[in-house]
Structure 1
Amino acid sequence: MQLKVSYEGQRDGITVVRVDSDGQGAVLDDRCAPELHKALVEVVEDGRLILVVDLSAVDGADKMGLAVLVEGLKRVHCKGGTLALVVPGERMRAVLSRAGLHRVFPLHDTVPSAVATLTADYVEESIEQRRTATVKRARERRAVEHGVIEAGDHTYEHLSEDITLVRVGVDALDGHTVPPLRNLLADLVNHGRCYFVVDLTAMDHINSTGVGVLVGALKRVRAHDGGLALVVQKESVLKMFRMTGLIKVFPMFDTVDPAVEHLGRNVLKAHV
């Protein structure tokens, strides 16, 4: 059984990728899956990110065929797009169901139905994205006017030519919340900021990963003859620093002002 893959552009930036067959009982297997994979890579690299994969002519799929579909979905998701499947056949739907993929892919009975749904969702999403972007820009302008800049859940404020106050805005610093803070501190150091007061008063919990990002930041600023002080109030957070012995490494304070004064003395010594 021979399968052929092609694609064509539709309205509103939607692309339909078709898997056609020259007979009944076609299976998306290792003979056709590479061709589908190649087509999906081509359309995504071409900037087509709203995709409909038409499997109307397909009655089944092996592991490789399903893997190509999942990889295609991941590829468009990484670039902010989406991918829907047209699967009118019960056999193919059963294959997707057994693999649990009926909960992953939007499924449609016809191409027009899939295109209409994606068009409505895409237009609505675009309007909402523009509205969100407008609100975000306004918020950023207000923040800059007041000297406080938002960076995701966190904020930072340049208190002087040397010292920057970073307020951590999450209640737990762990594997899920660490990357944005790590990136923020790294960006600030790359822009020449080497003295930080990191305010952890909003936090209730920190694990070893969270402690690790602060240790990394301390090493980074020390490499530039800088310094880093912490503001910690919660006993649950202090406990982790005691357990790791890092309470002797980080200067720690109950409030921001004494932390700033401490760093100010270090800045003065550095300038002298």
Structure 2
Amino acid sequence: MGISAALLCETFEHYPYDKRVPVSSTSFEIIRSIIGIFQEVIMHGEHRYDLFNSGLLTYLLPYFNVNGQAFDVEHLHAGLLGLYATMSSKFTLDDMEAFFSFSYGHPPHSDNFNETNNEEGITNRNDIIDCFSLEDLLTHTLYALLQGAGQASKHMALMLLSRLLKLKQQRARLYTNHGLFNQVIWNLTHIMRYISHRMTPEFQAESMREIRLSNRGEQTIFTQTKRLLQFTIECFEQLIIDPVLCHKSTSFLPVELRSNHFVELFLQDEGVRGWLETI
């Protein structure tokens, strides 16, 4: 309990109350350390559910709004995405549904709350973050997927998005929020184009060399890009199997997924062929 209280105090100590004020490098280091501690507990600790039920993980969400040096912000976002992606992989879907119910169960207490801004993060009209309300993880994940400069951020964001879309209450938000649905489709299509542009003839030749040299399942550039494709297809699959979103999602399915485009780009890879057949 004492450790949890200390970590919570440190989290509040460096809170980005005002998005207009840059966060110091020291604060970035401290928050990344806290993220690392939580990551270890979730990955290996016997107190995994204690941390989950404490609500501490929700208090890191406003750090998606930090302002600072691009390098620091990029690494912090990658750490946050990795933390929530790990959490989503270690807990059941029911646990995750409960987590989001807990998150959305804290309405903002500020009289200045701007209700029209609730899909872009919860702030009041003065751009001051309301610490008692929680940021929208789905929206932040989509933003990171589009804006993330590093491969790690894209990978973590896509992994997290594929798991968020497995949650009924997250998909239900897309039923009536057409803007959010279009944002999901647009981001996934953007990733498809990103993967296609990466798979140049030079990249394919290098991939063949890596495959010949590596028989130990190492994380080569080829396998990393293949994982990006896998998570993208999983996202589309979750949209297609939803009875409400099925028709609309199918009509927006990119042409690359309706053909052997990626099978050819990935050198007739059987795994890629199987994912496309599932779609």
If the TM-score is normalised by the length of the shorter chain, which range does it land in?
Answer: under 0.3
**TM-score normalised to the size of structure 2?**
0.25
Greater share of residues in strand: 1
**TM-score normalised to the size of structure 1?**
0.26
Higher RCO, 1 vs 2 (CA within 8 Å, ≥6 residues apart): 2
Structure index of larger Rg = 1
Greater share of residues in helix: 2
